[in-house]
Chains A and B, each alone.
Chain A
């Protein structure tokens, strides 16, 4: 069995685990990140929902229930964490735009508005899309993107289709990474006779440097252009994930990907080590502190059984909203079924309650009372609590 020693091991490579890992590696701690697979972030729009249910997310925090993870972290920590995120994205060449004091609305592929807070620069011009003409450009054969949804909902729109010789979001994004392809696309765009307004494209403007692609198209057409998020495979989701993962590697962090934590060793109120199952053979990592960021039901941190919910790594106590008959609302599409509030309750230092493990912290969607769908606070909550747990962990380590 392989053996590794670290200051801290983070379990789960989603936005929460990555945020915590980047912070601690950046402080010079020997940091390892273990993840079974790619996180929910890769399927997301890449937009940071902070608190979609309120017009002003920061004011909205104070109106959340006291046990909501944002309230445990405190407004100041939430702001600091999101501002640090903005700085980090600037550093990684994937700038985000938006104001923490006001949500924005962006165009979705079905012509509706998505309320969110921070958006990648490629979606900045989407805000206010109802006030001007939008020319939607699609790509021949692109699956799961039907501009007629948009044109049937929005009056002031038109559509044209470009044949790029490939029809998947990733295939297209790979093409947009080639400058010669961008030139061809710009030449084609300039040939269209469009009324004044903006151009919208599905989110495929390159994996490497979408900011540069955006600028080139803007310069050549003299128009604002923005991306519309797509169904997965989601290019902006992958960009966000890679930017975070690469930031962690650049800070000297060690990555154990494709590795599920299979068992843990605890002694006298401390977690001592974890065993990674490994695709070939197990290995063991011991550390002074551990952060649990394995996500909720989608990520695999929580597992629902007939009448209870299990935490899958440490078998921690899971707070569940009553018996199973109370878990779901009758309307499937209503935002936020009560079962969503399930998760791990933590103290003010983001340590799980009731387990007595002094060097274990938890963050992200595994936390109880987050109710991400109801409050629309997915990545925002992951960033804020990832940062809060990392700071608490830092105090323990130093």
Chain B
């Protein structure tokens, strides 16, 4: 719905994490529908404050009248960046994919350099914040490993940048889970989904990424493949921004066949359990605080990971969906947003700690970096929890492949967090 449908109810303002800690941001109602009537074609933008928006989309999810508040603001930001010089950090983060690729190639060196004070100072000059630490890179990225695995339902896995370059271990677990529940998983070469470029004001670069990914995914979808992602922000970009703001041909069809990994697995797991007359997929003795990423909420698919948590014996969990972690992809890594990100990180981490749980779990890599840092506790992906349950449970495939047996002899080549 366009800005004219706004009732001025202020529900969006009530949901904006940035507005509550950054008085210079007037909030989504004013930055969105209120200001929109003044953004006439041909006039240069003067509303620099739109750049405070982190594009968490909480305002849009909350609006009772379907006004696309966050989209209005995103378009205003794109217009603003086009008409003004962008800070260096924006160019840097728009390019996160290419930088990560280099980071991964030089992983052993990079991981030693990035925590050094001198590196942080250098990055500071470019407008990059010094907290939290940048994620470590892995040399054995997902794109450097096998292209296809398993047999059965045809699935193409969109792993995105974070799993690819920083956490390929989680990516492999995701692939193995899909395989375990009867999928043949293709892992083709892919680009960044494009959200970092979009969020940093570079529409052209975002579109370049999107066109490449969409044409690759369309070929798969046309051959009867379903697309599965695990990063909520990648999912949101594939299913909402490609056919929407990025206006990518054929993207609607891709979106209709694209699923979050647990949205996809839930019925398959349920069928397997029903067939075997079982109730649970396995046991994990833990109590976890499950932080729902903002972009998972924005997908409007519910909280699918919870459906799997319910199938795990011994697991107790608290669902937290009131707070944004404050990192919002690359937003919080910028010096300009350091204070805002730190305040929001502390609030969200406070909610995590109050649960008394020992572990924070979230589907989004950025949320995990931020909450792990501010709550000072281990942060895991639901994929790790579910994989753990399955591997010890009644559905486990006890036979290990030769490759896995060899790999287990040399843990150091596996890639992933130690």
A: which residues have CB within 8 A of B?
A: 1-4, 32, 36-39, 42-43, 165-168, 170-171, 173-174, 177, 208, 232-234, 238, 242, 246, 249-250, 252, 254-260, 276, 278-281, 283, 299-300
Known: A249-B321, A281-B255, A300-B65. A256 touches B23 (CB 8 A): no
- 15 pairs, A vs B, C-beta closer than 8 Å: A3-B267, A38-B63, A38-B64, A166-B23, A167-B23, A170-B19, A171-B21, A174-B21, A254-B307, A278-B301, A279-B61, A280-B239, A280-B240, A280-B301, A281-B239
Stretch at the interface among B7-15, B46-54, B135-143, B386-394: B7-15
Q: How far is the CA of A42 from the CA of B10 in the complex (A)?
A: 9
Mask: chain B, 5-48; 1 = CB below 8 Å from A; 0 = not:
00001110111100111010001000000000000000000000
Pair A279/B27 contact, Cβ less than 8 Å: no
Q: Which residues does chain A contribute within 8 Å of B205, judged by CB atoms?
A: none
Pair B20/A170 contact, Cβ less than 8 Å: yes
Pair B297/A258 contact, Cβ less than 8 Å: yes
Known: A280-B240, A280-B299. A37 touches B14 (CB 8 A): no
Residue B60 interfacial (CB < 8 Å): yes
Residue B302 interfacial (CB < 8 Å): yes
Residue B195 interfacial (CB < 8 Å): no
Q: Of B14, B66, B258, B302, which one neighbours A4 at CB under 8 angstroms?
A: B302
Pair A257/B240 contact, Cβ less than 8 Å: no
Q: Which residues does chain B contribute within 8 Å of A2, judged by CB atoms?
A: 259, 263, 301
Task: Using A170-B20, A233-B13 as known contacts, list a sample of 9 further A-B pairs with CB atoms less than 8 Å apart, ordered by residue number in A.
Answer: A32-B302, A37-B11, A38-B15, A38-B63, A167-B23, A170-B16, A174-B21, A232-B10, A258-B60
Q: How far is the CA of A8 from the CA of B90 in the complex (A)?
A: 47
Give the contacts of B57-90 with A (CB-CB under 8 A): 60-66
Pair A165/B303 contact, Cβ less than 8 Å: no
Q: Which residues does chain A contribute within 8 Å of B297, judged by CB atoms?
A: 257-258
Give the contacts of B216-270 with A (CB-CB under 8 A): 235-236, 239-240, 255-256, 258-259, 263, 267
Q: How far is the CA of A174 from the CA of B13 in the complex (A)?
A: 13
Minimum CB–CB distance for B418 against chain A, Å: 34
Q: How far is the CA of A283 from the CA of B255 in the complex (A)?
A: 12
Residue B319 interfacial (CB < 8 Å): yes
Q: Which residues does chain B contribute within 8 Å of A165, judged by CB atoms?
A: 23
Minimum CB–CB distance for B318 against chain A, Å: 7
Residue B358 interfacial (CB < 8 Å): no
Q: Which residues does chain B contribute within 8 Å of A170, judged by CB atoms?
A: 13-14, 16, 19-20
Pair B298/A38 contact, Cβ less than 8 Å: no
Q: Which residues does chain B contribute within 8 Å of A255, judged by CB atoms?
A: 302-303, 321
Known: A254-B303, A280-B255, A300-B64. A242 touches B322 (CB 8 A): yes
Q: Which residues does chain A contribute within 8 Å of B13, judged by CB atoms?
A: 168, 170, 233
Q: How far is the CA of A42 from the CA of B298 in the complex (A)?
A: 19
Q: How far is the CA of A204 from the CA of B254 in the complex (A)?
A: 46
Pair B239/A168 contact, Cβ less than 8 Å: no
Pair A279/B23 contact, Cβ less than 8 Å: no
Known: A255-B302, A280-B300. A43 touches B11 (CB 8 A): yes
Q: Which residues does chain A contribute within 8 Å of B239, judged by CB atoms?
A: 280-281
Pair A278/B14 contact, Cβ less than 8 Å: no
Pair A38/B11 contact, Cβ less than 8 Å: yes
Q: Of A168, A174, A259, which one neighbours B300 at CB under 8 angstroms?
A: A259
B: which residues have CB within 8 A of A?
A: 9-11, 13-16, 19-21, 23, 27, 60-66, 235-236, 239-240, 255-256, 258-259, 263, 267, 297-303, 306-307, 310, 318-319, 321-322, 347, 350-351
Minimum CB–CB distance for B128 against chain A, Å: 26
Q: How far is the CA of A234 from the CA of B14 in the complex (A)?
A: 8
Pair A43/B10 contact, Cβ less than 8 Å: yes
Q: How far is the CA of A279 from the CA of B237 in the complex (A)?
A: 12
Which chain A residue has the least Cβ–Cβ distance from B15?
A38
Q: How far is the CA of A257 from the CA of B63 in the complex (A)?
A: 10
Q: Which residues does chain A contribute within 8 Å of B21, judged by CB atoms?
A: 171, 174
7 closest residue pairs by CB, A with B: A37-B64, A258-B61, A280-B239, A170-B20, A278-B300, A232-B10, A279-B300
Which chain B residue has the least Cβ–Cβ distance from A295?
B64
Q: Which residues does chain A contribute within 8 Å of B240, judged by CB atoms?
A: 279-280
Which chain A residue has the least Cβ–Cβ distance from B304?
A2
Which chain A residue has the least Cβ–Cβ distance from B260?
A2
Q: How far is the CA of A232 from the CA of B14 in the complex (A)?
A: 8
Minimum CB–CB distance for B67 against chain A, Å: 9
Q: How far is the CA of A76 from the CA of B212 in the complex (A)?
A: 64
Pair B256/A232 contact, Cβ less than 8 Å: no
Known: A37-B65, A281-B256. A174 touches B14 (CB 8 A): no
Minimum CB–CB distance for B291 against chain A, Å: 13
Q: Which residues does chain A contribute within 8 Å of B322, judged by CB atoms?
A: 242, 246
Q: Which residues does chain A contribute within 8 Å of B258, judged by CB atoms?
A: 281
Which chain A residue has the least Cβ–Cβ distance from B306?
A254
Minimum CB–CB distance for A139 against chain B, Å: 12
Known: A254-B306, A257-B297, A280-B300. A233 touches B14 (CB 8 A): yes
Which chain B residue has the least Cβ–Cβ distance from A165?
B23
Minimum CB–CB distance for A277 against chain B, Å: 8
Q: How far is the CA of A68 from the CA of B350 in the complex (A)?
A: 45
Minimum CB–CB distance for B317 against chain A, Å: 10
Minimum CB–CB distance for A342 against chain B, Å: 19
Q: How far is the CA of A208 from the CA of B349 in the complex (A)?
A: 13
Pair A168/B318 contact, Cβ less than 8 Å: no
Which chain B residue has the least Cβ–Cβ distance from A164?
B23
Q: Which residues does chain B contribute within 8 Å of A299, judged by CB atoms?
A: 64
Minimum CB–CB distance for A206 against chain B, Å: 12
Minimum CB–CB distance for A393 against chain B, Å: 21
Pair A36/B302 contact, Cβ less than 8 Å: no
Q: Which residues does chain A contribute within 8 Å of B15, judged by CB atoms?
A: 38
